[in-house]
Amino acid sequence: MVPTVVRSLIENSILRQAQDNGAVVFQIIDLREYGKGNYHQVDDAPFGGGSGMVMMAEPLLKAIDDAFLQIGGSKDETRVLFPTAQGTVWNHDFALENSNIETHIIVCGRYKGIDQRVIDKYATHEYSLGDYIVSNGELSGMVIIDSIVRLIPGALNSLDSAMSDSFAKVLLDHPHYTRPRKVDGMSVPGVLISGNHESIDSWRRKQSEKSTREKRPDIWKKYQQSLVELEKDNEQGS
């Protein structure tokens, strides 16, 4: 709804590199251009009363229809994502799944929400960033877009880097260090400068396990369960 917000986030993030590399194309639509009357109205009071304003159906429907025309191709092959508190909680698996989808339309809501008829007609997937509210859908939409785009080949200088991040694998990521070796009396762990790659891999694995166990016991529990299931599968296969 506010193109300047979206453009700023694109221009000052990895999304610009992805666009420059030809990995993705962004098309930004200003909802105000589809607003009603001289003031380009896009919101109105809710039927039934209550506080707050609701984004009107007509401007949104026209904008989404125009988005489909700009994209081209079949509507069945385009996902229309709507960030909302009522949606399924967004995670890495959803980002990975959507990175394999050719085209998306992201509907950015505001105020108390958008007219339900827009959701009923067009929204194919509803997602939530978590149990909290942000002031506009542009922020939620850009978080979703960024997490998708960075998984598209060509977006990053190294896709391996994205695929080794926390949540891209079962465990949280291990600690990282760079030059110089000593800063403010703190040194880089000796194993990382030993040149022994087997020892380095082992250290990183143990650090990932430690971090996950201490910081995200919910993920650690799933990891432990996966190890048990893997052991059962190995026993059945032997």
Helix H, strand E, coil C: the string for the chain is CCHHHHHHHHHCCHHHHHHHCCCCCCCCCCHHHHCECCCCECEECCCCCCCCCEECHHHHHHHHHHHHHHHCCCHHHEEEEEEEEEEEECCHHHHHHHCCCCEEEECCCCCCCECHHHHHHHCCEEEECCCCCCCCHHHHHHHHHHHHHCCCCCCCCCHHHHHCCCCCCCCCCCCCCCCCCEECCEECCHHHHCCCHHHHHHHHHHHHHHHHHHHCHHHHHHHHHHHHHHHHHHHHHC
Give per-residue pLDDT as tens, 72-112: 877 889 999 999 999 999 999 999 999 999 999 999 999 99
**Does the structure show a pLDDT above 90 at 165?**
no
Give per-residue pLDDT as tens, 192-229: 999 999 999 999 999 999 999 999 999 999 999 999 98
pLDDT band of 238, cuts 50, 70, 90: low
112 burial type by CB count under 10 A (0-12 exposed, 13-18 middle, 19+ buried): middle
Residues forming beta bridges with residue 103, ordered by sequence position: 78
Alpha-carbon separation of residue 2 from 6, 8, 27, 35 (angstroms): 7, 10, 13, 13
Note the pTM of the prediction, 2 decimals.
0.88
- Domains, the chain, with CATH or none: 3-159 (3.40.1280.10), 169-237 (1.10.1270.20)
**Does the structure show a pLDDT above 60 at 1?**
no
The pLDDT score that the predictor gives to residue 160 is 74
What percent of the chain lies above the pLDDT cut of 90? 82
The pLDDT score that the predictor gives to residue 202 is 97
CB 53 within 8 A of CB 41: no
Ranges 42-56, 68-82, 127-141, 150-164: which has the least confidence: 150-164
Mean pLDDT score of the chain: 93
Give per-residue pLDDT as tens, 111-124: 999 999 999 999 99
The pLDDT score that the predictor gives to residue 92 is 95
**Does the structure show a pLDDT above 90 at 16?**
yes
